[in-house]
Amino acid sequence: MISKIEYNSNDVRVFRDDIYPFLGGGNKGRKIKYIEKDIIKKKSNAVVTTGGIQSNHCRALAVLAAQNGWKCTLVLHGNPDRFKILNGNAKLMRNSGAEIIFVAANNISIAMDVAMNNYNEQGLKPYYVWGGGHTIEGGLAYIEAVKELKQYCIKESWEPKYIFLASGTGSTQAGIMAGLDNENIDAQVVGISVARDRKRAEQVVSEFYNDLIDFYKITTSNRDVTVLDDYLCGGYELFDTSLKKVSNNSLKNFGFILDTTYSGKGFYGMDDYIKRNNLCQEKILFWHTGGVLNYLN
- Within this chain, do residues 102 and 147 fall inside the same structural domain, yes or no? no
Q: Do residues 172 and 142 make contact, with C-beta atoms less than 8 angstroms apart?
A: yes
Helix/strand/coil for 104? coil
Domain termination residue (choose one: 114, 129, 144): 129
Helix/strand/coil for 254? helix
Question: What pLDDT score was predicted for residue 117?
Answer: 98
Strand order in 71-77's β-sheet? 99-102, 71-77, 46-52, 126-128
Domain termination residue (choose one: 75, 100, 129): 129
- Within this chain, do residues 17 and 146 fall inside the same structural domain, yes or no? yes
- Within this chain, do residues 172 and 271 fall inside the same structural domain, yes or no? yes
CATH number of domain containing 199? 3.40.50.1100
pLDDT(210) > 90: yes
- Within this chain, do residues 88 and 171 fall inside the same structural domain, yes or no? no
Average pLDDT over the chain reads: 96
Catalytic residue among 3, 9, 44, 55: 55
- Within this chain, do residues 54 and 177 fall inside the same structural domain, yes or no? no
269-to-167, 241, 288 alpha-carbon distances in Å = 11, 14, 13
**Per-residue DSSP letter, 77:** E
Split at pLDDT 50, 70, 90, the class of 245 is very high
Q: Enter the pTM of the model.
A: 0.95
- Within this chain, do residues 121 and 105 fall inside the same structural domain, yes or no? yes
The model's pLDDT over 166-199, given as tens digits with 9 standing for 90+, comes to: 999 999 999 999 999 999 999 999 999 999 999 9
Please state the domain count of the chain: 2
- Within this chain, do residues 115 and 143 fall inside the same structural domain, yes or no? no
Question: What pLDDT score was predicted for residue 222?
Answer: 82
pLDDT(228) > 90: yes
Count other Cβ atoms within 10 Å, centred on residue 276. Answer: 9
- Within this chain, do residues 139 and 16 fall inside the same structural domain, yes or no? yes
- Within this chain, do residues 260 and 183 fall inside the same structural domain, yes or no? yes
Domain termination residue (choose one: 129, 158, 190): 129
* Mean pLDDT value across residues 215-221: 92
Question: What pLDDT score was predicted for residue 9?
Answer: 87
Question: What pLDDT score was predicted for residue 7?
Answer: 82
- Tell me, yes or no, if 171 is annotated catalytic: no
Q: Do residues 33 and 297 make contact, with C-beta atoms less than 8 angstroms apart?
A: no
- Within this chain, do residues 12 and 73 fall inside the same structural domain, yes or no? no
Domain extent for 104: 28-129
**Per-residue DSSP letter, 256:** S
pLDDT(50) > 90: yes
Question: What pLDDT score was predicted for residue 107?
Answer: 97
- Within this chain, do residues 9 and 154 fall inside the same structural domain, yes or no? yes
- Within this chain, do residues 22 and 37 fall inside the same structural domain, yes or no? no
CA atoms within 13 A on the CB side of 133: 34
287-to-65, 75, 174 alpha-carbon distances in Å = 27, 29, 13
